[in-house]
């Protein structure tokens, strides 16, 4: 049945299928084709179109990247200007655009950060985070890294060593790190921070936390992170946040860890995804005394600080940090939270997790979540399918109030 509204259009005969998906599947590994076979032809602001002209309200932000909206005009212009300047690539030589971006990032960030390491992906940023904590521990005769079960910190051996998957993500390698200690993630909001589960506190080099746990937008209970921070401060351990999904106003403030309390000052935060709203770039924010422990450390790569990526990222953070956009988000975030909480009354829903412009509907059964996702897509709303008992919802931060209400109405109808 055809659907046409202000923000959605689904034509007669639509089915979730893609000949392009099938063609790519013949050339790529099976593991890369575990996604919904929906071709993206065009994406602008909070809308996505396929090759047949079907149009969706995007609740994925292309997996939490397009915070400033797809094809943001200011970012597009910055990319065009950089291309026209005939400087697309400069290895790690100094460039004016790299200087401008790093300067702006430090300007808007908390003042205790004074060093930026630019990289290409979130996995690389977390690899550097792991290395810095290791170097810090070695220099101070501390060895343990404390993290949480259920965490995901990217793809790569060091990333998988600190990711708390049940199957042990690094098992393929036969390598493990006996100095990594996993605590059970506190899914119950009444959970308290249990210090008895820790190794000797004076031997902890650092804590590495996802700002929220990805698959279900699970946040730490009130006061939990504050207790970790207090213990880390007392015993000289580092506190590090994986801000890949939480950074750049996704939770409201600039960085998501700030929602746990103004007093928290992390030693290291790893950034990516929403840093550019488009092109591949990531960063590690830290302090001089940590990043320069080993002056000869290899903390860069071939494309680190790519000129075009820096141009896009500078335009992105300037746009998102503008007073006008901050004021708009104050209103839309409130509508988003209210509309999500209204879905909690459904008997299919076990819990609703929401903060800023990220949410997850936690279902009792995976099959029910999958059916709702399919129904939404067939009706012009594109949420994140987790292939488990949750649906994640994270639209571009530019989404309008009426679009929020429209897509929540669709979700409610399928619940």
Q: What are the pLDDT digits (tens) for 347-370? A: 999 999 999 999 999 999 999 999
pLDDT given for residue 176 in this prediction: 86
| Residue of 367 and 32 predicted with greater confidence | 367
Question: What are the pLDDT digits (tens) for 291-343?
Answer: 999 888 888 889 999 999 999 999 999 999 999 999 999 999 999 999 999 99
User: Measuring CA to CA, which residue among 215, 178, 143, 203 is closest to residue 393?
Assistant: 215
Output the pLDDT for position 166.
57
Helix, coil or strand: residue 413: helix
The structural domains of the chain, with segments of one domain joined by +, span: 91-321
Residues 6+ apart with CB under 8 A from 292: 115
Do 103 and 310 form a contact (C-beta atoms < 8 A)?
no
On the question of pLDDT at 210 being above 60, the answer is yes
For a pLDDT cut of 70, what percent of the chain falls above it?
99
pLDDT-based confidence at residue 16 (cuts at 50, 70, 90) = confident
Is residue 116's pLDDT more than 60? yes
Rounded to 10 deg, the angle between the 307-321 and 323-341 helix axes is: 70
| φ, ψ (nearest 5 deg) of residue 368 | -70, -40
pLDDT value at 32 more than 80: no
Q: Is the pLDDT of residue 18 over 70?
A: yes
**Which residue is it, tokens 């936390």?**
209
Average pLDDT for residues 27-33, to the nearest whole number? Answer: 81
Q: What value does the mean pLDDT of the chain take? A: 95
Q: Which two tokens stand for residue 105?
A: 């990032």
- Tell me which residue has tokens 């076990």: 350
Confidence of residue 167 (pLDDT cuts 50, 70, 90): low
| DSSP string over 73-102 | HHHHHHHHHHHHTT-S--TTS--HHHHHHH
Closest by Cα among 392, 395, 415 to 403: 395
pLDDT > 90? residue 57: yes
343 in Cβ contact with 336 (< 8 Å): no
Q: How far apart are CA 295 and CA 237, in angstroms?
A: 21
pLDDT tens, 254-281? 999 999 999 999 999 999 999 999 999 9
CATH fold of 91-321 reads: 3.40.640
Q: How confident is the model at residue 248 (pLDDT cuts 50, 70, 90)?
A: very high
pLDDT surpasses 70 at 245: yes
Distance between CA 379 and CA 86 in Å, rounded?
A: 44
Indicate if the pLDDT at residue 89 is higher than 70.
yes
pLDDT at 408: 97
Q: How far apart are CA 31 and CA 92, in angstroms?
A: 33
């Amino acid at each position: 049945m055809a659907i046409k509204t202000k923000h959605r259009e689904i034509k007669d005969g639509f089915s979730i299928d893609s000949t392009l998906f099938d063609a790519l599947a013949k050339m790529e590994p099976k593991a890369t084709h575990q996604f919904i076979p929906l071709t993206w032809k065009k994406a602008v602001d909070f809308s996505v179109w396929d090759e047949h002209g079907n149009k969706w309200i995007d609740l994925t932000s292309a997996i939490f990247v397009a915070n400033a909206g797809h094809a943001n005009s200011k970012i597009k212009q910055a990319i065009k200007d950089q291309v026209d300047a005939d400087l697309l690539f400069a290895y790690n030589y100094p460039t004016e655009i790299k200087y401008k971006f790093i300067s702006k990032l430090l300007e808007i960030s908390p003042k205790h950060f004074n060093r930026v390491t630019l990289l290409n992906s979130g996995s690389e940023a977390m690899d550097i985070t792991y290395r810095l904590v290791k170097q810090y521990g070695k220099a101070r005769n501390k060895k343990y890294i404390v993290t949480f079960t259920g965490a995901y910190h990217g793809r790569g051996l060091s990333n998988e060593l600190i990711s708390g998957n049940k199957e042990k993500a690094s098992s393929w390698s036969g390598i493990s790190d006996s100095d990594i200690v996993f605590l059970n993630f506190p899914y119950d909001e009444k959970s308290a921070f249990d210090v008895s589960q820790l190794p000797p506190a004076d031997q902890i080099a650092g804590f590495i936390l996802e700002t929220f746990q990805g698959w279900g937008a699970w946040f730490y209970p009130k006061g939990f992170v504050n207790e970790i921070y207090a213990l880390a401060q007392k015993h000289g351990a580092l506190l590090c946040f994986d801000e890949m999904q939480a950074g750049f106003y996704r939770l409201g403030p600039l960085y998501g860890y700030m929602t746990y309390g103004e007093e928290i000052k992390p030693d290291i935060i790893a950034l990516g995804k929403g840093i550019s709203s488009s092109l591949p770039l990531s960063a590690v924010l830290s302090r001089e005394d940590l990043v320069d422990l080993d002056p000869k450390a290899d903390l860069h790569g071939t494309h680190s600080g790519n000129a075009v990526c820096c141009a896009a990222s500078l335009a992105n953070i300037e746009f998102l940090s503008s007073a006008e956009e901050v004021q708009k988000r104050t209103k839309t975030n409130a509508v988003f939270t209210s509309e999500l909480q209204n879905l909690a009354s459904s008997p299919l829903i076990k819990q609703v997790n929401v903060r800023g412009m990220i949410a997850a509907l936690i279902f009792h059964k995976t099959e029910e979540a999958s059916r709702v996702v399919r129904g939404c897509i067939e009706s012009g709303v594109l949420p994140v399918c987790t292939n488990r008992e949750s649906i994640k919802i994270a639209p571009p931060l530019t989404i309008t109030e009426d679009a929020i209400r429209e897509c929540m109405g669709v979700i409610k109808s399928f619940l």
